[in-house]
Amino acid sequence: MKKKSKLHVFISFFILVFLIVGGLLIYTNLRYPLKYEAQINKYSEQYALDKSLVASLINEESSYNKDAISGRGAKGLMQLSPQTAKFIADKLSEEYKEENLFDPDTNIRYGCFYLNYLREKFVDEVVYLSAYNAGESTVRLWLKDENTSKNGVTLSKIPFSQTKEYVTKILQGRKLYKGRI
C-alpha cells in the first residue's frame, strides 16, 4: 500500500507542476502575444534594434492590434501619430499615406525607423523610450532640468507617471520576449 501511496503523490505532484507551468505559458502568450515576427526581425535588423525590445514596445503600444487608434490619434501597431509618420515618410523620401499606418509592414518599418532616430538623438535606452512615449521636445526639457537629469544625458527621474510605467513595462516585457523572437 505504501508503494501505491508514493506513486499517487508523485503523479499528483507531476500533474500539479504540469498545470502550473502550462498556466504560466498560457498567461505569458496571452499577456505577451507575438505576431508579425518577419517584419519585427527585418526592421529590427535593418535599424540595429533589439527585436525583443521592438516586440515589447508593440505589445505595450497596441497589444498587437494592427487597427489600433489611440485617443490622441496615433495609429497601428507602433502607435504612430500622423504627424510623426509624415516626418518619417519625408525622411525616407516616400509619399505619405495615412491609411498605410494600418499596414503592419509599413507601421513596423516606420516605428523602427523612428525608434532608431530617437536612439541616435538620445543614446540612453530609458531616455529614447521615454521620448517615444512623451515626445522628443518634452524629453529634451527633462534633460535640461536638474530635478530630472543630473548630467543632461540620462534621466534620474521620469516626471510623467504614465511614461515611467510605459518604460518599465517595455523593459520588463523585453525579458519575456527574449528567446521567443
Show which residues are catalytic: 61
Nearest to 35 by CA among 54, 16, 10: 54
Query: Is residue 58 helix, strand or coil?
Result: helix
DSSP line for 100-168: GGGSHHHHHHHHHHHHHHHHHHH-SHHHHHHHHHH-HHHHHHHHH-TTT-SSSSS-S--S-HHHHHHHH
Q: Which three cell numbers stand for residue 57?
A: 514596445
